[in-house]
């Protein structure tokens, strides 16, 4: 007797115990990769939290709205283990508030100047800010 399970096929003996999984190797490999990426991000965040935390507020000017800039910042900040937010402002710029280790914030600053493919960053103003604890990085 056989039954379908997601994309793979589960083959059972007459007693009902599973004998083999066919077609699941790709899903299992994808799951392992995502799990390893999660632990890598967690270890970066844990490593950064053991250092002194500081906060920066960035005002990014140029063509930074409607080009995926905030989502770009969210991805980079998560990879660097930073917390905070990125939000659009009425004047067409983007405000980024980030909390983390000073070396990680400096690395983020470099990414802010680059931006995603369709962005045209004309300026990044950086200011020290009081530390506010966020659980992750979000888009505001």
Q: CATH no. for residue 125? A: 3.30.70.100
Mean pLDDT of the chain: 79
| Residue 73 shares a structural domain with residue 102 | yes
pLDDT value of position 19: 46
Domain shared by 65 and 134, yes or no? yes
Q: What is the pLDDT of residues 15-53, one digit of tens each?
A: 444 444 445 555 555 656 665 565 555 544 454 444 689
> Are 91 and 70 members of one domain?
yes
| Domain encompassing residue 30 | 2-48
Query: Where does the pLDDT of residue 66 fall: very low under 50, low under 70, confident under 90, or very high at 90 and above?
Result: very high
Q: Does 88 participate in catalysis according to the annotation?
A: yes
Which of 7-16, 51-60, 67-76, 85-94 is predicted with the least confidence, judged by mean pLDDT?
7-16
Exposure letters 52-82 (e unless 16+ CB within 10 A, then b): ebbbbebbbbbebbebbbbebbbebbebbbb
- Catalytic annotation, pick one of 70, 104, 122, 138: 70
128 in the same domain as 82 = yes
- Single out the catalytic residue among 88, 91, 117, 138: 88
Distance CA 71, CA 140 (A): 11
Q: How many CB atoms lie within 10 A of CB 12?
A: 13
**90 three-class SS:** coil
For residue 74 the two structure tokens come to 């969210």
Does residue 125 share a domain with residue 61? yes
Q: How far apart are CA 63 and CA 71, in angstroms?
A: 14
What pLDDT is attached to residue 52? Answer: 87
How many distinct structural domains can be found in the chain? 2
Known catalytic residue: 91? no
Return the pLDDT at 48: 46
Q: Do residues 107 and 70 both lie within one domain? A: yes
pLDDT (tens digit per residue) in 84-106: 999 999 999 999 999 999 999 99
Q: At what angle do helices 69-80 and 25-49 cross, to 10 degrees?
A: 80
Does 46 or 111 have the greater pLDDT score?
111
């Amino acid at each position: 007797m056989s039954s379908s399970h997601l994309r793979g096929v589960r083959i059972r003996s007459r007693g009902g115990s599973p004998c083999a999984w066919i077609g699941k190797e790709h899903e299992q490999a994808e799951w392992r990769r995502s799990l390893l990426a999660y632990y890598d991000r967690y270890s970066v965040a844990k490593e950064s939290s053991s250092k002194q935390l500081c906060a920066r507020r960035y005002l990014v000017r140029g063509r930074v709205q409607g080009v995926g800039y905030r989502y770009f910042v969210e991805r980079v900040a998560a990879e660097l283990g930073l917390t905070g937010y990125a939000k659009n402002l009425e004047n067409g710029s983007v405000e980024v508030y980030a909390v983390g280790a000073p070396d990680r914030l400096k690395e983020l600053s470099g990414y802010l100047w680059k931006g995603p493919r369709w962005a045209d960053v004309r300026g990044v103003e950086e200011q020290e800010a009081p530390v506010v604890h966020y659980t992750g990085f979000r888009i505001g």
